[in-house]
């Protein structure tokens, strides 16, 4: 496994990656995870549980990986150990680091860890990323007001940039697109994401997943919040991105 600029540290029950540009000197064995303090993310969606926190003097987000679907009730946050290269938090850390190096609008990964249990047969894992300042999910913005055309085009252009870089987001939805008060768009939650070798059907699947998400949110909102016209604005931005 190539960790690039991060550094790997063995812990009592597993291992941890830490961005080598940050100074975690003097923190405990599992820091910044064990020393972090914060509050749950009220708008946390999907499979992971997330908390806003301060770690290493920076505003961050900690995600604890949890299962979805039928396996969630039985295994919750436990994953079968298939080697360090298959650890979910390490894979997302690696991907985010690569995307940051390309100056794509994603959060910077700060630390990742896993801890093994049951004789090493299963593991649990976590990821800490830098918090994107003053940004809220697209779903929250839509719950408050209709977005102007320029905002929809910018959202589409952001997705277009990812696709131009061959980035396949496994769960592109209105909760994973963040917008700040200046209208800048960022993308989060790259669990199971990957960089593809070439364009393909996966790009259409990403867009279809986003459209389904927006339709689902719009069911409980005024009709003008998401319409065929607003979707066309997003696609226009995507084509130009």
Q: Kindly list the catalytic residues.
A: 171
Are the C-beta atoms of 188 and 178 separated by less than 8 Å?
Answer: yes
Tokens 């029950």 sit on residue: 13
The one-character DSSP state at 14 is E
- How far is residue 230's CA from residue 98's CA, in Å, rounded to a whole number? 32
- How far is residue 78's CA from residue 202's CA, in Å, rounded to a whole number? 28
- How far is residue 164's CA from residue 199's CA, in Å, rounded to a whole number? 8
Are the C-beta atoms of 231 and 225 separated by less than 8 Å?
Answer: no
Are the C-beta atoms of 140 and 96 separated by less than 8 Å?
Answer: no
Are the C-beta atoms of 39 and 131 separated by less than 8 Å?
Answer: no
């Amino acid at each position: 496994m190539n960790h690039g600029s991060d550094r790997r540290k063995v812990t009592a029950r597993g291992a941890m990656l830490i961005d080598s540009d940050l100074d975690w000197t003097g923190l405990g064995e599992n820091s910044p995870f064990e020393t972090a303090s914060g509050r749950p993310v009220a708008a946390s969606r999907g499979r992971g549980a997330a908390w806003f926190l301060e770690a290493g003097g920076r505003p961050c987000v900690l995600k604890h990986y949890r299962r979805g679907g039928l396996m969630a009730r039985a295994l919750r946050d436990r994953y079968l150990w298939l080697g360090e290269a298959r650890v979910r938090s390490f894979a997302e850390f690696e991907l985010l680091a690569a995307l940051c190096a390309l100056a794509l609008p994603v959060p910077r990964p700060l630390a990742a860890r896993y801890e093994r249990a049951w004789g090493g047969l299963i593991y649990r894992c976590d990821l800490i990323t830098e918090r994107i300042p003053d940004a809220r999910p697209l779903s929250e913005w839509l719950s408050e007001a209709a977005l102007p055309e320029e905002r929809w085009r910018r959202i589409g252009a952001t997705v277009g940039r990812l696709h131009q870089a061959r980035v396949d987001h496994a769960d592109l939805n209105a909760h994973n697109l963040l917008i700040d008060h200046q209208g800048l768009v960022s993308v989060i939650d790259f669990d199971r994401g990957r960089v593809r070798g070439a364009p393909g059907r996966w790009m259409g699947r990403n867009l279809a997943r986003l459209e389904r998400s927006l339709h689902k949110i719009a069911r409980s909102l005024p009709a003008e919040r998401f319409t065929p016209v607003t979707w066309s604005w997003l696609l226009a931005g995507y084509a130009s991105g």
